[in-house]
Amino acid sequence: MPPRCTVAALAAIWLPGLAEAAGALSPNGPVAEAQLGILLTALGLMAIVVLPVWLLAAFVVLRYRSTAGQTYRPEEDFDLKTDLVIWAVPALIVIAIGTIVWTRTHQLDPYAQVAPGDSLRIQAVALDWKWLFIYPDLGIATVNELALPAGTNAEIALTSDTVINSLIVPGLAGQIMAMAGMRTELNVVAEAPALMWGRNTQYSGEGFADQEFRVPVTSLEDFAAWAETARRARPLDRAAYCLLATEEATSEPRRYSAPEDGLFKAIMMQYMDQDRGRLCSDD
C-alpha cells in the first residue's frame, strides 16, 4: 500500500472516533476537564518509570544477545546503590501521584458542588432500561433526556428502582452508581451549549446496550423555554410512574409534568428497612 493510502486508512480509523464521540477526551465542563488533566499529569509522571523500562529492555535485548561479544558477568546479583534507586524512584513517583490522589479526590468529590451559586436539583432514577430524571424545583420530569442549562451547577441525586446502575455523561464527569434503597450524588456543570450523551455503564440486563440518554445543554433562556414545554406534557402520577417502571421499554426521550411529590424518596424507601411500602402493586 503506498504511504499516502496508509495514512488515509489510519485517518479513517482515527478521525471518526475523535470527531464524533470523543467522550472524556473532549470535555465540556470543569469536572471532565480536570479528570482529563489528571490523566495527562499521571501519564507524564509515570513516563519517568516506564520509558526507562522500555529503553533498558530494548538495550539489554540488543546488547546482550548471546551472539554479541558482550560483557558477561554471571555472578553479578546485587548492588546496593542500584537496589536503592529501583526502590526509591517508584516510591517517589507514587508519593507524587499519591498527593495528586489526595487533593484531587477531595476537589473532585462528586458530592461537592462544582460551580458557585444555586444548584439545579435533579433526581435520577435508574429503571429497566432507561433513566427517569425528575426536576423537583421545576415540576417536570423526563425519560432518556437530561437537559441542562449551561454554566449552572447540577446536583444529581441517584437511586435505582431496579438492579445496580451507574450514570455517566462522558463529556461532563465520571460516573456514580445508582443503587436501590440508597442515595448517591453527582455534581456536574456543563460549560457550553451542545448536544451530549450519557448512559448506564453497569450491566443491567437485556436492554442495557441501548440504555443511553441525550444530554442537551442549552443557554438559561432556552432551558427555561424547554422546561415550559415539558410542563405541558402529561403528568407523572403514580399510575404513569408504575407503567414506566414495570412495563414500558423505551429509548426515546419523553417528558412529563407534575411529578408526584416526594417520588424520589418514595422509590428509595421501597428498599429501606422501615416503612417499605411498594409503590406499584405486583400485578
Partner 1 sequence: MTDTTTDAQGVRPHAGIPLEHPDAETAHATERAVFGFWIFLMSDLVVFALLLATYAVLLRGNTGAPGPAEVIELAYAFPETLLLLTSTLTLTFASVALREDRARGVYGWTFLSLALGAGFLALEGAEIAGLIGKGHIPQVNGFLSGYWLAIGTHGLHVAIGVVWGLILIAQFWIYGFCPAIRSRLVRFSLYWHMLDVVWIAIFTVIYLPGSLVS
Partner 2 sequence: MLGRLSWDASPFYGVIPAIAASVVILAAIATIVLLTVTRRWRWLWSEWLTSLDHKKIGIMYVVLAEIMLARAFIEAALMRTQQALGAGAGDVGPVGAEHFAQLFSTHGTIMIFFVLMPFMTGLINFAMPLQIGARDMTFPWMNSIALMLTIGGAGLVMASLVIGKFSTGGWTGYPNFTGAAVNPGVGPDYWIWALTLGGAGSTLSGINIVATIWKERTTGLDHLMWMPLFCWTSLCTALLMIFAFPALTVATVMLWLDRTFGFHFFTQADGGNMMQYVNLFWMWGHPEVYILILPAFGVYSEVIGTFSSKKLFGYTSLVWATMAIAVLSFTVWLHHFFTMGASANVNAVFGIATMVIAVPTGVKVYDWLLTMRHGRLRFDVPMLYAVGFIVTFVVGGVTGVLMAIPPFDYVVHNSTFLVAHFHNMVIPGSLFGMMAGATFWFPKAFGFRLDETWGRRGFWFWISGFYLAFMPLYVLGLFGMSRRMATYLHPEWQPWLIAAWAGAGLVGCGLICQAIMLYVSIRDRERLRDITGDAWDGRTLEWLAPSPPPEWNFGVRPVVTGRDEFGERKLNDEAYPVPDRTAYRDIEIPANAATAPLIGIFAFLFAFAAIWWMWWLVWISAGAIVLLVLWRSMRFSLHRQIPAETLYQADMAHRRTILAHADGDIGSGAPMRHARGTEGYLARERREREDRA
What minimum distance in Å lies between the beta carbon of 251 and partner 2? 7
Residue 273 grid cell: 428497612
Decide whether 76 or 221 has the Cβ nearer to partner 2. Answer: 76
Site for partner 1 in 254-273 (CB under 8 A): 273
CA-CA distance, 282 to 194, in Å (whole number)? Answer: 41
Number of residues that bind partner 1 (CB under 8 A): 4
Least distance to partner 2 from the beta carbon of 113, Å?
14
Least distance in Å: CB of 271 to partner 1? Answer: 10
**Closest CB 185 distance from partner 1, rounded Å:** 22
Out of 34, 240, 242, 279, the residue judged to bind partner 2 by CB under 8 A: 34
- For the record, the C-alpha cell of 102 comes out as 489526595
Provide the minimum distance between the beta carbon of 118 and partner 2 in the complex, in angstroms, as a whole number. 23
Binding map of partner 2 across residues 117-146, x = CB under 8 A, - = no contact: ------------------------------
Closest CA to 184 of 171, 166, 198: 166
CA distance 193 to 218: 5
* CB of 235 closer than 8 Å to CB of 258: yes
**Alpha-carbon gap, residue 232 to 230, rounded angstroms:** 5
What DSSP assignment string belongs to 203-239? --SGGGGG-EEEEEEE-HHHHHHHHHHHHTS-B--HH
What residues does 158 pair with on adjacent strands? 124, 184
User: Of 42-50, 114-122, 132-140, 255-263, which part binds partner 2 (CB under 8 A)?
Assistant: 42-50
Distance CA 49, CA 179 (A): 39
Task: Give me the amino acid identity at 15.
Answer: L
Binding mask 215-254 for partner 1 (x = CB under 8 A): ----------------------------------------
Determine the interface stretch with partner 2 among 76-84, 136-144, 226-234, 254-262 (rule: CB under 8 A): 76-84
Q: Is 278 in the site for partner 1 (CB under 8 A)?
A: no
User: Which does residue 275 touch among partner 2, partner 1, none (CB within 5 to 8 A, set by kind)?
Assistant: partner 1
In the complex with partner 1, which residue's Cβ is closer, 180 or 230? 180
Least Å distance, CB 32 to partner 2, is 8
Question: Cβ neighbours of residue 34 under 8 Å, at least 6 residues apart?
Answer: 104, 107, 108
Q: How far is the CB of 160 from partner 1 (least distance, A)?
A: 18
Q: Is 276 in the site for partner 1 (CB under 8 A)?
A: yes
283 is an interface residue for partner 2 by CB under 8 A: no
Taking contact as CB under 8 A, which single stretch among the options 132-140, 155-163, 232-240, 258-266 is the one that binds partner 2?
Answer: 155-163
Measured CA distances, 232 to 114, 147, 153, 225, 227 (Å): 31, 16, 25, 11, 9
Distance (Å, whole) CA 132 – CA 126: 6
Tell me if 274 contacts partner 1 by CB under 8 A. yes
DSSP SS3 for 190: coil
d(CA 198, CA 212): 6
Binding site for partner 1 (CB under 8 A): 273-276
